[in-house]
Amino acid sequence: MKNSYYQAQTNTQVTGAKLIASATVSSSSTSTSTSKSSTITSSVSSSSSKTTATIRTSTSTTSAFVCTTSASGWEVLGDLKNNGAKTPVGTNITGVLTGDAAEAKTDGGYTPPGARGSTACKADVCCIWSYIAVDLQPFFLNSDGTCNQWARRAVRLGFHDAAGWSKPNSLAGKDYGGADGSIALSAEEAARSENEGLEDIIAKVQEWQTTYGVGMADLIQFVSNLGAVVCPMGPRVRTWVGRKDSSTPAPTGLLPAVTDSVDKIVCLFGDKTLSYTQLAALLGAHSTSQQFFVDPSKAGEPQDDTPGVWDTRYYQQHRPGQTAPSGVFQFASDLGIANDTRTKSQWTSFAISGRAAWAASYATAYVRLSLLGVNNMNNLTECSHVLPKAVLTFP
- Please report how close the Cβ of residue 59 comes to ligand HEM at its closest, in angstroms: 20
Peptide bond into 395 cis (omega under 30): yes
292 binds ligand HEM (CB under 6 A): yes
* DSSP-derived secondary structure for 210-251: HHH---HHHHHHHHHHHHHHHSTT---B--EE-PPP--SPPP
Distance CA 29, CA 42 (A): 16
- Please report how close the Cβ of residue 243 comes to ligand HEM at its closest, in angstroms: 17
User: How many CB atoms sit inside 10 A of residue 49's CB?
Assistant: 8
Amino acid of residue 176: Y
Contact pattern from residue 304 through residue 343 relative to ligand HEM, giving x for each residue in contact according to CB under 6 A and a dash for the rest: -----------------------------x----------
Residue of 53, 294, 335, 357 that binds ligand HEM (CB under 6 A) = 294
256 binds ligand HEM (CB under 6 A): yes
* Among candidate residues 377, 309, 363, the one with its CA nearest the CA of residue 102: 363
Any binding-site annotation on 270? Answer: no
257 binds ligand HEM (CB under 6 A): yes
DSSP character at residue 160: H
Contact pattern from residue 260 through residue 289 relative to ligand HEM, giving x for each residue in contact according to CB under 6 A and a dash for the rest: -----x----------------xx-xx-xx
Q: Are 63 and 8 in contact (CB under 8 A)?
A: no
- Please report how close the Cβ of residue 372 comes to ligand HEM at its closest, in angstroms: 12
CB neighbour list of residue 109: distance below 8 Å, 6 or more residues apart: 385
Any binding-site annotation on 161? Answer: yes
SS (H, E, C) 76-140: CCHHHHHCCCCCHHHHHHHHHHCCCCCECCCCCCCCCCCCCCCHHHHCCCCHHHHHHHHHHHHHC
160 is catalytic: yes
Catalytic residue among 160, 192, 204, 272: 160
- Residues in the interface with ligand HEM (CB under 6 A) total 23
Amino acid of residue 6: Y
- Please report how close the Cβ of residue 145 comes to ligand HEM at its closest, in angstroms: 17
Binders of ligand HEM among residues 186 to 225 (CB under 6 A) are 197
Q: Are 380 and 242 in contact (CB under 8 A)?
A: yes
With respect to ligand HEM, which residue has the nearer C-beta, 88 or 325?
A: 325
Q: Which are the catalytic amino acids?
A: 160
Binding residues for ligand HEM, per CB under 6 A? 149, 152-153, 155-156, 159, 197, 256-258, 265, 282-283, 285-286, 288-294, 333
Binding site per annotation, positions for Ca(2+): 161, 178, 180, 182, 287, 304, 306, 311
